[in-house]
Amino acid sequence: MCKAESKRSQFIVHHGVVEFLNHAPYSRALTKIQRGHPRDIGDVDAMFNHGLIDKSRLADYFLLIESGLIRYPAIAPSTFKRSIADFCKL
């Protein structure tokens, strides 16, 4: 795993020589909000309620990726942005 990935991941537990991490919770949250399925939104709510993500940081991460969304024609940036704002209540 590269250092950038380990900074975004959260340690869970060691089992012998194996290390388990919660991989990039903000990336996962953004993906789930973009998909918009009720279960996904429930998952992101749980991530927030368990302190895995912060809504203001989530909005900041969206701003970091927003300009690159043009590369993904299946994603409507304005709809995605509205979904983030609705979730974060911005």
Confidence of residue 4 (pLDDT cuts 50, 70, 90): very low
What's the confidence (pLDDT) of residue 1?
A: 45
Integer Cα distance of 35 and 28 in angstroms: 11
Amino acid occupying residue 3? K
Whether this model's pTM surpasses 0.85: no
Q: For residue range 30-76, what is the model confidence (pLDDT) as tens digits?
A: 999 999 999 999 999 999 999 989 999 999 999 999 999 999 999 99
Question: What's the gap between Cα 23 and its chain centre?
Answer: 10
